[in-house]
Amino acid sequence: GAVVSQHPSWVICKSGTSVKIECRSLDFQATTMFWYRQFPKQSLMLMATSNEGSKATYEQGVEKDKFLINHASLTLSTLTVTSAHPEDSSFYICSAKTGGRNEQFFGPGTRLTVL
């Protein structure tokens, strides 16, 4: 149990286009989902926290208008990178938790490459 999936697993896009990444909790209801970004050989950096039905809370330095997060249901959160540029190329990872547990369950990540 407690499986989190992400789609797509990798994506290549042209500079200036927008890309949507999905994060799904497959066998549990995720009241809270988190989005992280990880550059090569670096640690995970929290970008934002999203609660179902509420606006996402962004970490300092993360542009909310560039990284649009929607958490419309208890099993799905989406991250849209708008007007992507090469510096947005990174590994994007989501995690999800239920209301009754501290543990976060991580997705497999999405590799974004912007040309």
Partner 1 sequence: GESVGLHLPTLSVQEGDNSIINCAYSNSASDYFIWYKQESGKGPQFIIDIRSNMDKRQGQRVTVLLNKTVKHLSLQIAATQPGDSAVYFCAENLGDYKLSFGAGTTVTVRA
* Residue ranges that bind partner 1, judged by CB under 8 A: 4, 6, 32, 34, 42-46, 49, 93, 95, 97, 102-109, 111
How far is C-alpha 43 from the geometric centre of its chain's CA atoms? 15
Judged by beta carbon, residue 18 or residue 64, the one nearer partner 1 is 64
If the CB atoms of residues 6 and 25 are measured against partner 1, the closer one turns out to be: 6
- Our CB check for partner 1 shows the closer of 17 and 29 to be 29
Shortest distance in whole angstroms from residue 81 CB to partner 1: 18
Pair 4, 97: CB distance under 8 Å: no
The minimum distance between CB 15 and partner 1, in angstroms, equals 24
* In the complex, minimum distance from the CB of residue 16 to partner 1, in angstroms, rounded to a whole number: 27
Q: Could you tell me which residues are beta bridge partners of residue 67?
A: 81
Q: Kindly state the smallest distance separating residue 26's Cβ from partner 1, in Å.
A: 14
The residues pairing with 110 across neighbouring beta strands, listed in sequence order, are 92
- CA–CA gap between residue 1 and residue 13 (Å, rounded): 33
34 by DSSP, 3-state: which?
A: strand
**Cβ closest to partner 1, residue 50 vs residue 75:** 50
Task: Please give the angle made by the CA atoms of 2, 5 and 10, to the nearest 5 degrees.
Answer: 155
